[in-house]
């Protein structure tokens, strides 16, 4: 057993690399997060002396120092310390070629009296290193975070806890009001927990706060279709930094409906993957079956659909196909996941109240002694006297 009383050291390359990554995840809270080793020992249930040993190993050899020693007999011909030497060399910068690692490992084996090693064995050891570990060691924590950080795969705790909203330009041409070809846009409101499409908006022209408001209206208010039960007010709306999402209009709506707007980090697209997936589903499953579909920048056939006809096609696909089939990540159909054994979503008082909030923009007005002046009219009320 290891000296710290932990489980026996893993035998395979992959298991040893996973152990090193787990050790780094714990140790990073001290190195990058500012926690003391004593605090970290209490929180992680790892002994203080073990954490000190990991810290010294990392200081001496970097990420490679966190690799557990290979057990004897794993590869009888290759000395365990030689395997560790090869892995450490492969995880150091500047990056060395396999030929260079082979030469250095052969000299190290000769110097220490270890059995020799073949070029193919060195290549096998290097290639079996976990790609995430190599990214962390060679490219740094930022590259590792952007590519492998698990926080972006976090799933909301319940329906309507987190909604995502975004736009995409669809790979199809339709006929506008003048019967001319035009490329439409799509705004989707996606529930993070169930992956259900709570609402959407298909439109022509650039995305704007108005079209975003229409998509939110479709998502919040109950639909007429029994097969589309998604509705309600979310707790949080996760969006990017587009001008329509950072508008005063949306901020005002969030305040009035009591939900929080959460913005994704700039230049960090990982958190957008869930809503990008539904865009990909629509672009690859429904649009190729329609006239006017665009393939690699070229239309496959002349456009024939109007905006209303395209809207109807997308709506049918969402309600009849997408919501009813098992989602590959949640392992449940979006409709079943959203219903979640019965619950009551938050709703506005009325559709009129929702329309006022979403489709109008409040602006401050100066209250004068003779009332409020607006569009050439003067409004008088005794109640306004307190606001002069």
pLDDT in tens, 63-112: 777 777 655 444 447 888 999 999 999 998 888 898 999 999 999 999 99
- The residue written with tokens 């995840």 in the block is 25
Alpha helices by DSSP H, listed for 167-306, are 209-220, 248-257, 273-281
Pairing assessment for the beta strands 181-182 and 174-175 based on DSSP bridges = antiparallel
Question: Domain coordinates of the chain in residue numbers?
Answer: 13-148, 162-359
Residue among 183, 182, 185, 149 at smallest CA distance from 166: 185
**Cα 272 to Cα 113, 187, 201, 238, 342, distances in angstroms:** 54, 14, 18, 9, 28
How buried is 245 (Cβ within 10 angstroms: 0-12 exposed, 13-18 middle, 19+ buried)? buried
**Whole-angstrom distance, CA of residue 30 vs CA of residue 34:** 5
- Residue 105 is given by DSSP the state H
As a dihedral over the C-alpha atoms of residue 81, residue 87, residue 91, residue 93, rounded to 10 degrees, the angle is: 60
Note the pLDDT of residue 152.
47
The answer to whether the CB of 90 falls within 8 A of the CB of 129 is yes
Residue 334 has pLDDT above 70, yes or no: yes
Strand partners, 199: 189
pLDDT in tens, 263-274: 876 655 555 668
How buried is 58 (Cβ within 10 angstroms: 0-12 exposed, 13-18 middle, 19+ buried)? buried
- Residue 332 is given by DSSP the state S
CATH class of 162-359: alpha beta
Pairing assessment for the beta strands 162-169 and 185-191 based on DSSP bridges = antiparallel
Q: How confident is the model at residue 149 (pLDDT cuts 50, 70, 90)?
A: low
The mean pLDDT value for 150-165 works out to: 78
pLDDT in tens, 183-205: 999 999 999 999 999 999 999 99
Q: Is the dihedral of CA 345, 348, 352, 356 positive or negative?
A: negative
Note the pLDDT of residue 243.
79
Give the count of alpha carbons within 13 A of 241, CB side only.
Answer: 6
**Whole-angstrom distance, CA of residue 232 vs CA of residue 159:** 10
The answer to whether the CB of 133 falls within 8 A of the CB of 17 is yes
How buried is 276 (Cβ within 10 angstroms: 0-12 exposed, 13-18 middle, 19+ buried)? middle
Q: Is the dihedral of CA 254, 196, 262, 249 positive or negative?
A: negative
The mean pLDDT value for 122-146 works out to: 82
Strand partners, 200: 188
Residue among 235, 231, 229 at smallest CA distance from 257: 235
**Whole-angstrom distance, CA of residue 287 vs CA of residue 289:** 5
Q: Could you count the other beta carbons within 10 Å of the beta carbon of residue 373?
A: 13
Pairing assessment for the beta strands 197-203 and 185-191 based on DSSP bridges = antiparallel
Q: Could you count the other beta carbons within 10 Å of the beta carbon of residue 23?
A: 21
Residue 6 has pLDDT above 60, yes or no: no
- The residue written with tokens 């050891």 in the block is 125
The better pLDDT of the pair 267, 237 is held by 237
**Whole-angstrom distance, CA of residue 189 vs CA of residue 212:** 9
**Cα 39 to Cα 3, 6, 48, distances in angstroms:** 22, 19, 9
Q: How confident is the model at residue 248 (pLDDT cuts 50, 70, 90)?
A: confident
């Amino acid at each position: 057993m290891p000296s710290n009383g932990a489980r026996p050291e893993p035998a395979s390359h992959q298991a040893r690399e996973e152990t090193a990554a787990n050790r780094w995840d714990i140790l990073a809270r001290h190195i990058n997060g500012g926690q003391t080793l004593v605090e970290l020992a209490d929180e992680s249930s790892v002994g203080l002396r073990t954490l000190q040993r990991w810290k010294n190993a990392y200081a001496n050899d970097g990420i490679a120092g966190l690799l557990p020693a290979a057990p004897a007999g794993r590869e009888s011909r290759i000395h365990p310390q030689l395997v560790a030497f090869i892995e450490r060399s492969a995880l150091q910068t500047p990056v060395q070629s396999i030929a260079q690692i082979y030469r250095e490992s052969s000299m190290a084996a000769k110097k220490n009296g270890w059995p020799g090693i073949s070029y193919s064995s060195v290549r096998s050891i290097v290639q079996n290193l976990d790609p995430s570990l190599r990214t962390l060691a060679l490219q740094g924590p930022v590259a590792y975070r952007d590519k492998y950080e698990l926080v972006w795969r976090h799933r909301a705790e319940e329906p309507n806890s987190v909604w995502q909203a975004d736009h995409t330009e669809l790979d199809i041409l339709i006929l506008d009001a003048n019967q001319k070809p035009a490329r439409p846009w799509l705004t989707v409101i996606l529930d993070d927990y169930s992956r259900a499409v709570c609402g959407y908006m298909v439109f022509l022209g650039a995305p704007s706060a108005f079209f975003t408001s229409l998509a939110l209206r479709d998502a919040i208010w109950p639909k007429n279709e029994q097969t589309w039960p998604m509705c309600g007010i979310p707790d949080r709306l996760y969006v990017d930094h587009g001008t329509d999402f950072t508008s005063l209009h949306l901020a005002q709506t969030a305040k009035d409906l009591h939900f929080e707007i959460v913005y994704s980090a700039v230049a960090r697209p990982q958190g957008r993957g869930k809503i990008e997936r539904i865009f990909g589903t629509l672009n690859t499953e429904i649009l190729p079956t329609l006239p006017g579909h665009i393939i690699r920048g070229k239309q496959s056939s002349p456009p024939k659909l109007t905006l209303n006809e395209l809207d109807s096609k997308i709506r049918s696909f969402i309600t009849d196909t997408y919501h009813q089939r098992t989602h590959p990540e949640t392992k449940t159909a979006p409709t079943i996941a959203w219903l979640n054994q019965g619950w009551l979503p938050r709703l506005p008082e009325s559709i009129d109240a929702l329309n006022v909030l979403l489709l109008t923009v409040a602006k401050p007005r100066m209250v004068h002694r003779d009332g409020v002046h607006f569009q050439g009219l003067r409004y008088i009320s005794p109640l306004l006297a307190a606001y002069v």
